């Protein structure tokens, strides 16, 4: 069988961004076994990725942005030679759909993969000026013109279906052969509350500041915050573990109770697939999450986790899980099974493959 080729156009280098590595990047090896050759072109270099969300470095950011545009231009004459062009989020971050139009003109066999509500106003605190350089027009253009659209939440699916009928909803997924439970669900040590995220989502962890300070008055616990370089709340024992791919699973395995707070009044959260909650759940960690958006899909309240809204509900849920190891074990075990059955690589690999085959060989789709 003749092998087929896919060009992945993405914002970030391979292996660093959760929106890429815990979505389609995990399936590269599987795609290769199914007859696809993979080429990845990221807009950012690894150095640019390291500095882009840091304060300062303004000249470097401008320089590496220009380099990103040069890379996109250099790929233009190569586009017709790929069987599929898989665009994650956009071709370029700024301006109207100029490059997106060129790419689709030269190769209409495009898969558009979108996560988060990137087409709404979401100003960066570090790179605030970029807000005025961005345009949502490119995302609506890709919705309309891509042959296949992949989304990760029911809310995004609803939006995409206004523009096309070729929409597939695939949540962020977990490699359950790597994410293995180790928790013994015992109260013979100081228990660990854990949160995982990034610089851009750390503000969500701070939503729990008052809850955790109140909890500290009656309960002794530690906190692990993974994925950022700094996190401090006076009066709380917080162990910060910066992100590294190698340390991600070991760091999360230290957690006894997973925390996934989200704001109730922010439209942006409706684009989130609940990835961090899925990571906890895959490790058999009982998870408390805000009762909103995709969390309603991935967590069945009081069966595979706890869904809460108010500070008082957070406090009650935390006390319950801290005091009752049997409840932690029940929720954690059920959560692990749910992820294996619905949100693992094995459960979703053929869904991804069918999206690709719909473009390259629509007459012979995988029946699974």
As a whole number of angstroms, the distance between CA 62 and CA 94 comes to 12
Q: Which residues, 6+ apart, have CB-to-CB distance to 302 below 8 Å?
A: 331
As a whole number of angstroms, the distance between CA 144 and CA 165 comes to 9
- What average pLDDT is seen over the chain? 93
For residue 324, the cross-strand partners are none
Question: Do the Cβ atoms of 93 and 129 come closer than 8 Å?
Answer: no
What is the predicted pLDDT for the residue at 200?
82
As a whole number of angstroms, the distance between CA 334 and CA 337 comes to 5
Residue pLDDT, tens place only, 129-180: 566 577 889 999 999 999 999 999 999 999 999 999 999 999 999 999 999 9
Taking residues 198-224, what's their average pLDDT? 95
Question: Do the Cβ atoms of 74 and 58 come closer than 8 Å?
Answer: no
Q: To 10 degrees, the CA torsion angle through 265, 313, 299, 236?
A: 90
Residue pLDDT, tens place only, 254-313: 999 999 999 999 888 888 889 999 999 999 999 999 999 999 999 999 999 999 999 999
Three-state DSSP class for 224? strand
Reported as a pLDDT band with limits 50, 70 and 90, residue 17 is confident
Strands 36-42 and 110-113: unpaired
The pTM assigned to this predicted structure is 0.89
Taking residues 66-90, what's their average pLDDT? 97
Q: To 10 degrees, the CA torsion angle through 97, 99, 102, 104?
A: -70
Kindly tell me if the per-residue pLDDT of 230 is higher than 90: yes
Taking residues 3-28, what's their average pLDDT? 93
What is the predicted pLDDT for the residue at 368?
40
Helix-then-strand count for the chain, H and E: 15, 12
How many residues appear in the chain?
A: 368
What is the predicted pLDDT for the residue at 116?
79
Of residues 292, 288, 276, the one with CA closest to residue 332:
288
Question: Do the Cβ atoms of 304 and 338 come closer than 8 Å?
Answer: yes
Domains belonging to the chain, first-starting first, are 4-173+344-360 (3.40.50.2000), 191-342 (3.40.50.2000)
Q: String of b and e for 329-355 (b: at least 16 CB within 10 Å)?
A: bbbbbbbbebbbeebbbebbbbbbbeb
């Amino acid at each position: 069988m003749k092998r087929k080729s896919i060009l992945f156009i993405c914002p970030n280098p391979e292996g660093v961004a959760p929106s890429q590595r815990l979505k389609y990047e995990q399936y590269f090896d599987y795609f290769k076994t199914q007859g696809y050759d993979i080429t990845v072109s990221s807009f950012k270099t690894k150095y640019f990725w390291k500095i882009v969300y840091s304060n300062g470095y303004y000249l470097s950011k401008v320089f590496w942005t220009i380099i990103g545009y040069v890379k996109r231009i250099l790929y233009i004459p190569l586009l017709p030679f790929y069987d599929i062009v898989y665009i994650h989020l956009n071709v370029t971050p700024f301006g109207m759909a100029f490059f997106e139009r060129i790419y689709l003109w030269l190769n209409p066999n495009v898969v558009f993969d979108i996560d988060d509500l990137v087409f709404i106003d979401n100003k960066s605190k570090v790179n605030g000026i970029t807000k005025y350089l961005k345009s949502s027009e490119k995302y609506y253009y890709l919705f309309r013109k891509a042959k296949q659209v992949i989304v990760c939440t029911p809310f995004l699916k609803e939006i995409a279906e206004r523009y096309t009928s070729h929409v597939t909803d695939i949540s962020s997924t977990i490699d359950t052969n790597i994410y293995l439970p180790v928790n013994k669900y015992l109260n013979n040590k100081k228990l660990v509350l854990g949160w995982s995220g990034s610089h851009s989502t750390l503000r969500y962890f701070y939503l729990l500041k008052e809850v955790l300070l109140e909890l500290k008055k009656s309960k002794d616990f530690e906190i692990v915050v993974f994925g950022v370089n700094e996190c401090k709340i006076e009066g709380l024992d917080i162990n910060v573990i910066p992100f590294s791919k190698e340390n991600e699973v070991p760091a999360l395995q230290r957690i006894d109770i997973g925390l996934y707070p989200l704001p109730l009044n922010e439209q942006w959260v409706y684009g989130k697939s609940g990835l961090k909650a899925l990571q906890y759940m895959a490790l058999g960690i009982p998870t408390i999450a805000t009762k909103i958006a995709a969390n309603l899909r991935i967590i069945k309240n009081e069966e595979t986790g706890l869904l809460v809204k108010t500070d008082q509900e957070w406090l009650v849920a935390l006390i319950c899980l801290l005091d009752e190891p049997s409840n932690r074990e029940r929720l954690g075990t059920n959560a692990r099974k749910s992820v294996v059955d619905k949100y693992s690589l094995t459960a979703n690999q053929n869904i991804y493959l069918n999206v690709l085959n719909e473009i390259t060989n629509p007459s012979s789709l995988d029946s699974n």
